[in-house]
Amino acid sequence: MLLQPKRIKYSKHQKGKLQKLNYKSNKLQFGIFGLKALESGSISAKQIESSRQAITRKIKRTGRVWIRIFPHLPVTSKPIEVRMGKGKGSVSHWVSKVGGGAILFEIDGVPEKMAFAALRTGAAKLPIKTKIIT
């Protein structure tokens, strides 16, 4: 199941700017191993979910995985071959804006070798450069 908010105050948002660096969530809080973003970007709910699936498959459902980002920003798009104007399109998917230095995933309860392999496969599913930290 893809991540998305249960309810929101406004259905459509403006794009806004990406934060360059993240100082709030740049340390491990739950696990021993983590996947840290090295650059800022927006990660869609599908990308988060596919990365989570890859990580949990690699660790063979042992240990515990925490997802530290949540896609709460709606992205709208108009249908293909529609003329300009006539308002903003409907919500197509949800994204999470990630600043450089933010922790994306954390793992605990698995051996170091297995954790590194799992986070490496999870990082391959994401559109930004990442680094594994302990």
- 121 lies in some domain: yes
- 82 lies in some domain: no
- 98 lies in some domain: yes
Mean pLDDT score of the chain, rounded to an integer? 95
* Residue 92: predicted pLDDT: 96
- 13 lies in some domain: no
Residue range 39-45: mean pLDDT, rounded: 96
Q: Are the C-beta atoms of residues 98 and 53 closer than 8 Å to each other? A: no
- 61 lies in some domain: yes
- 106 lies in some domain: yes
Q: Are the C-beta atoms of residues 25 and 100 closer than 8 Å to each other? A: no
pLDDT digits (tens, 9 = 90+) for 57-107: 999 989 999 999 999 999 999 999 999 999 999 999 999 999 999 999 999
Residue range 37-48: mean pLDDT, rounded: 96
CATH number of the domain to which 45 belongs = 3.90.1170.10
**Which residues constitute the domain of residue 103?**
33-76+89-133
* Residue 1: predicted pLDDT: 76
Domains held by the chain: number: 1
Q: How many CA atoms lie within 13 A of 79 on its CB side?
A: 3
* Residue 25: predicted pLDDT: 87
* Model confidence, pTM: 0.93
- 115 lies in some domain: yes
* Residue 91: predicted pLDDT: 96
* Residue 35: predicted pLDDT: 97
* Residue 23: predicted pLDDT: 87
Torsion sign, CA atoms 26, 29, 31, 32: positive
